[in-house]
Amino acid sequence: MRKIVFLPGKHVTERVFLPEHLEALENSGIELIVNQGTANPTSEEAAEWIAGADVVFTSWGCPLLEKAILDRAPNLKLVLHAAGSVKPVVTPELWARGIRVSSAASVLSRGVGETALGLTIVSLKNIWEITQKARTENWWGYRSDGTRSRIREMYGSTVGCIGAGHAGRHYMELLRPYGVRLLLNDPTLTREQADAWGAELVDLDTLCARADVVTVLAPELPETYRMIDAGRLERMKEGATLINLARGSLVDEEALIAELKRGRIRACLDVTVPEPPPADHPFRTLPNVVLTGHIAGAVNNGLHALGRFAMEEYFRFREEGCLAGEVLPSSLNTKA
C-alpha cells in the first residue's frame, strides 16, 4: 500500500476521525492525502483526489465512485466507508474491478441498538407521562392511580423487534439480561437463527398484536415501504409503544396519526417523512408522541468510533487480508 486518500470534505473527516487515527495511518509508511476542501467533493474533484490511490476512505457527502473516477486509480484495492450504508458511493464497477468494500455500519448501528434499548425502558416505565405529571400535578411514585397502573418493568414484558440487521442484533443482545419475551420479524432468518438470539420468529401481524413495545429497525427497501400500516397499528395493544429508528417511510404516518389521536398507543419517532416534520404537524403536538430528531445512530463523540473502525479495518486488510465490515454486492438488496 503506497497511497491512501481521504475523499470526504474536511468538515466530515474532522468529525469522524481523531488526529490519532490519521497519525496512525501516516506513521504506517504510506503517503496520506486528506481532502482539505470545506465542502463535499464533486465528482470532478473526487477524480482529481483519487489519482494513484491504493486505498480510499469515504464517508457522508462523497460522490458515487463511477468509472470516470475509478479510471484515475487503476491500482485501487480497497474502499473504506466510515459511515453506514455504502449505497451512496458504490457502483457495480467497483466490484467488477475486484475492489473490496468495507462499511462501518455495524459500529454506527450500535448507537441505534442502544437508543432502542433506552427508549424501550423509559416507554415501559411510562416516563413520558410521569414526567409531565410530576411537573404539573405534584404526582409522585407512591400514588396509586391510572398513571402508576400504566408503568411496566422490563421483566416479563413482550418486546417486538422488526429487522435483524446490525442494529436489530445489537438490540436483541442488549435485551438478553432483562427477562423480556422477545418476538422477531425478519424474512431473511430461519427459526433456528431466531432461537439463537433468544427470540420467537413470528409474522408481522402477530408481532404487532402481542408486543408491549414494537421497535422498527428494518432497512428502507421497496418491500418495507409502509410495512407498519393501518391494520397493524390497529392490532397493537392498548398502551403499547411504537419505536421507529429505521426510516419514516416504513410507517404509514397518516394511519399512525389517526391511531395516536385515539389515545390507544404511544410513539417514539427518531425518523419521519419529511425530516423535520412541518411546524404544525400532529407529531409535534400530540401528547403521546416523542420526537428525537434522528439522533439514534452515532452522534458527536460516537462518530469517532466509526473513524477508529475504518482505520483499524485498513490495518486488518494490510496485515491479514481480511475485513470485519466487508460489503458484498449480493447483500445490497437486503441492506439499508
On average, the pLDDT of the chain sits at: 95
CATH of the domain at 123: 3.40.50.720
pLDDT of residue 137: 87
Instruction: Check whether 17 has a pLDDT greater than 90.
Output: yes
Whether the pLDDT of residue 260 is over 90: the answer is: yes
Summarised one tens digit per residue, pLDDT across range 202-246 is 999 999 999 999 999 999 999 999 999 999 999 999 999 999 999
Q: What residues make up the domain containing 240?
A: 108-291
pLDDT recorded at residue 336: 65
Question: In the prediction, which pLDDT does 287 show?
Answer: 94
CA 205 to chain CA centroid, nearest Å: 23
**Active-site annotation holds for 173:** no
Instruction: Assess whether 95 and 8 both reside in one domain.
Output: yes
Catalytic-role residue among 31, 44, 223, 275: 275
Which of these ranges, 125-134, 197-206, 271-280, has the smallest mean pLDDT?
A: 125-134
Q: Say whether both 96 and 135 belong to one domain.
A: no
Catalytic residue among 247, 259, 308, 313: 247
Measured distance CA(64)–CA(293) in Å, rounded? 27
Please give the average per-residue pLDDT across 87-93, as a whole number.
Answer: 94
Tell whether 165 and 274 lie within a shared domain: yes
Q: What percent of the chain has pLDDT over 70?
A: 99
Which stretches of the chain are assigned E, i.e. beta strand?
3-6, 31-34, 55-58, 78-81, 100-103, 158-162, 181-185, 200-201, 213-216, 241-244, 266-269, 289-291
- Same domain as 122, residue 215: yes
85 and 10, same domain (yes or no): yes
Active site residue 275: yes
Q: Are 71 and 180 in the same domain?
A: no
Q: How many helices (H) and strands (E) does the chain have?
A: 15, 12
Active site residue 21: no
The residues with which 102 forms a beta bridge, in sequence order, are 80, 326
Task: Tell me how far CA of residue 220 lies from CA of 74, 186, 247, 253, in angstroms.
Answer: 33, 13, 6, 15
CA distance 308 to 76: 21
Q: What mean pLDDT do residues 181-187 have? A: 97
268 and 243 in a single domain? The answer is: yes
325-336 pLDDT, tens digit per residue, is: 999 988 777 666
> 329 versus 254: which is more confidently predicted?
254
Burial class of residue 212 in the structure, from the number of CB atoms within 10 Å of its CB (0-12 exposed, 13-18 middle, 19+ buried): buried
Q: 239: phi > 0 → left, psi -120 to 50 → alpha, else beta; which? A: left
Same domain, 196 and 267: yes
38-42, 134-138, 191-195, 252-256, range with the lowest pLDDT: 134-138
The per-residue pLDDT for range 293-328, each reduced to its tens digit, is 999 998 999 999 999 999 999 999 999 999 999 999
What is the per-residue pLDDT across 133-159, written as a single tens digit (0 to 9) for each? Answer: 888 888 887 778 888 888 999 999 999
State the residue for C-alpha cell 436489530: 168
**In sequence order, which ranges of 71-159 are alpha helices (DSSP H)?**
92-96, 105-124, 127-136, 146-149
| Residues 239, 128 share a domain | yes
- Whether the per-residue pLDDT at 160 is higher than 70: the answer is yes
- What percentage of the chain reaches a pLDDT higher than 90? 90
CA dihedral 116, 119, 124, 130 (to 10 degrees): 180
Residue 292 class from Cβ within 10 Å (0-12 exposed, 13-18 middle, 19+ buried)? middle
Tally of structural domains, the chain: 2
Please report how the helices 303-320 and 105-124 are oriented relative to each other, as an axis angle in degrees rounded to 10: 140
Whether residues 93 and 214 fall in one domain: no
CA distance 243 to 266: 9
Judge whether residue 43 has pLDDT over 90.
yes
Q: How far apart are CA 190 and CA 187, in angstroms?
A: 8
Which one of the listed residues 294, 304, 316, 318 is annotated catalytic?
A: 294
Q: What angle do CA 157, 158, 161 make, to 5 degrees?
A: 135
Does 41 sit behind a cis peptide bond, omega within 30 degrees of 0 on the bond before it?
no
Number of C-beta neighbours around residue 231 at 10 A: 12
Give the per-residue pLDDT at 111.
95
The pLDDT value recorded for residue 1 is 64
Q: Are residues 213 and 158 in the same domain?
A: yes
Q: Which of 216, 119, 234, 220 is nearest to 163 (CA)?
A: 216
Same domain, 51 and 148: no
Average pLDDT over residues 39-54: 95
